[in-house]
Amino acid sequence: MSLSPDTETLRRVARLRRVIADLQAHETPDERLVTVTVPPETPVHEIAGRLTREYAAAADINTSTTQTAVREALAALRDHLREYDTVPVNGLVLAAGVLDEARVWTLDVLPASVPSLRVERDQRFRIDPLLAMCPDPTPERDAALLADLFARRNGDGTAVAGFRPTRRELTVGAVEQLLISERLVADVAVYDCPEGHETHTLIASDEPTPDRDCPVCGAVANGERAEPAEAVTHLLALADRHGGDPTLVTPAADCGERFHAAFDGVGALLRYPTGE
């Protein structure tokens, strides 16, 4: 299911903000976190050579634990780089560090081009190029949107909150503005029962989809992942198809945490009340 160019950019920004938040959460007492930024059209062998040289240079790190951690991170990056024959169209950003274990983060579908080839080691991940690609969150705007959402939901019925109500209103074209929390990380499962009832629900990205009772009639419903499965992409695709201006909501806004925790981080302002 393809997205319009503007919606595809928003999808990339949503994922970018989630990864940025994850990277910003990590800090080490020594300079063991490695960030690699690769501009478009850089030959993969050039990146691999740079990582090999950095691995050799790590022999000069005085502290043995730091040296080992840096080398493990660089080795993990070299291994991960083997998955690429060419650099993606907007470039590539890789981050690696030994925390509890060696871990690699990858951003290869970016909303803008990476400006330069850099391999940097620090106590924190050096994500300035990523921040430059990502529009600043606007807590004041988002707080006003959420206040409007809750007021209209409890008032004239021209707003809904929660994944299922919002998805339902998207499919009938009633959504004026779709609100999605930046923290929404989930898949969508669809359940079909023999009586023809279809139910969509959010599940964890690594959660299976075993059969369950249909919430309408109680019959056994077969489950599988929807297409597209990733929740943000799923909702954006519906907004593209049926209408609805999508907006990412920062948890930093007033009521942002409540919106995410109580309502799946999904809601919508409606064009008209639907009576559902």
Q: What is the CATH number of domain 139-270?
A: 3.30.1330.30
pTM of the model: 0.85
pLDDT of residue 161: 96
pLDDT of residue 1: 57
Whether residue 202 contacts residue 186, with contact meaning beta carbons closer than 8 Å, is answered with yes
Token pair in block for residue 4: 């319009």
A 10 A CB-CB count for 124 gives 15
* Residue stretches of the chain with pLDDT short of 50: none
Q: How far apart are alpha carbons 85 and 223 in whole angstroms? A: 36
What residue segments make up the domains of the chain, in order of their start? 5-133, 139-270
Strand order across the 175-181 sheet:
159-161, 266-270, 175-181, 245-249
Q: Given the structure tokens 């991940």, which residue do they identify?
A: 125
Domain 5-133 homologous superfamily, CATH:
eRF1 domain 1 (3.30.960.10)
